[in-house]
Amino acid sequence: MQLFLEQLLNGLAIGAIYGLTTLGLALVYGILRILHVAHAGVYAVGAYVGLFAAQWTGSLLMGVLLAGAVSSLLGVAIERLVYFPLLKYPPYVPLIGSIAVFISLEELIRLVAGPEIRSFPAEIPLPALKLGVVTVSPPLLAVYLTTGLVLLSLWFVTTRTEFGLAMRAASQDMEVASSLGVNSHRVVSLTFVIGSFTAALAGVLVGVYYNQVYPSMGAVPAYKTLALIVVGGMGSVPGAVMASLLLGVAETLLIGYANVPLPRDALAFIAMILVLLVRPKGLFARRSR
């Protein structure tokens, strides 16, 4: 029982990290209909900036803030320089552009920071929580708290502010929204800022949680998150987060108990194909628009 609970808590933490990474992808897909593969590159850049900034300033918080700032700038730059001019082409064109950006980012990190795995030593200013038979360690707690906080603020921004209204309008129909006075350029850029900031958070959290960052750390998330937004219903943020949590738990429990003879990274795609067969619009798709 205790082992099961511990596995469950770990699975939830992994799911929460997937959720933070997938969130930005779902936001971007919702508004631009682009598969933002380079998002995982932004995430890896965020992890590295976070590591260097935390070592340089000696404070994890400063690391997180700097990582978020750099990643946001990077995200907006990708949107402005690559995606925006490619919107008029069929969707595979921006997708290939995104893959190219991702490859370039991965290589840039390798050239600048070196190919080796770096450890991410961090003092987390949180206590270890004792819940009955299991203990929630500080890194786990940090993952839960950050994810909860991000989701809460995102919910607040999208449903309770004027910007959120503009964002929802633009994601339904950008042209009509523009004609009604929504500055869709700014909305798109701000969406990239939010998405990239959460990606940087996820990158730093992964670095702290596994105590390692390496140049190709974005490779697996780059494609797993694509499967997750399909399972969650393309462009639906709550769906993507739910799918991520489910996958995190399922991966951990299946590998821990069922001894599935498949790598955990293929599981997401198997789930995705099953979902596409049964509910092509995704598990949590909005009913209709």
Partner 1 sequence: MNDYAVSVATIIAIQAIGALGLNVIVGYAGQISLGHAAFFGIGAYACAMLTTNGLSFWLALPVVLAISGSVGALLGLPSIRLKEDFLAITTIGINFIVEAIFLYTPFFGGALGIGGIPRVVFLGEKLKGVGFLWLCLAFLGASVLGCLWFRRSWLGLGCFAIREDETAAASMGIWPMKFKLSAFVVGAKLAALSGALYAHYMRFISPGDFGFPVSVMFLSMVVLGGMGTLWGPVVGAVVLGILPEVFRPIMEYRMLLYGALLLGMIRFQPGGLLGDQSLAMRVFRRLRLRGGD
Binding region for partner 1 (CB under 8 A): 29, 33, 35, 82, 85-86, 89-93, 95-97, 99-104, 106-108, 111, 223, 226-227, 230, 234, 261-263, 265-266, 269-270, 272-273, 276, 280
Q: How far is the CB of 288 from partner 1 (least distance, A)?
A: 18
Identify which of residues 5 and 112 has a Cβ nearer to partner 1 in the complex: 112
Other Cβ atoms closer than 10 A to 186: 12
Answer for the pair 224, 268: CB distance below 8 angstroms, yes or no. Answer: yes
Q: How far is the CB of 280 from partner 1 (least distance, A)?
A: 6
Identify which of residues 50 and 235 has a Cβ nearer to partner 1 in the complex: 235
Numbers of helices and strands, H then E, in the chain: 12, 2
Q: How far is the CB of 16 from partner 1 (least distance, A)?
A: 23
- Secondary element (H or E) of residue 129: strand 129-131
Identify which of residues 152 and 270 has a Cβ nearer to partner 1 in the complex: 270
At 188, the amino acid letter reads V
Burial of 85 (0-12, 13-18, 19+ CB in 10 A): exposed
Q: How far is the CB of 33 from partner 1 (least distance, A)?
A: 7
Identify which of residues 56 and 89 has a Cβ nearer to partner 1 in the complex: 89
Identify which of residues 102 and 209 has a Cβ nearer to partner 1 in the complex: 102
Q: How far is the CB of 96 from partner 1 (least distance, A)?
A: 5
Using alpha carbons, list the distances in angstroms from residue 260 to 2, 22, 79, 224, 232. Answer: 22, 25, 40, 18, 23
Q: How far is the CB of 105 from partner 1 (least distance, A)?
A: 8
Residues with Cβ within 8 Å of 107's Cβ and at least 6 positions away in sequence, in order, are 215
Identify which of residues 63 and 233 has a Cβ nearer to partner 1 in the complex: 233
β-pairing, 134-136 vs 129-131, is: antiparallel
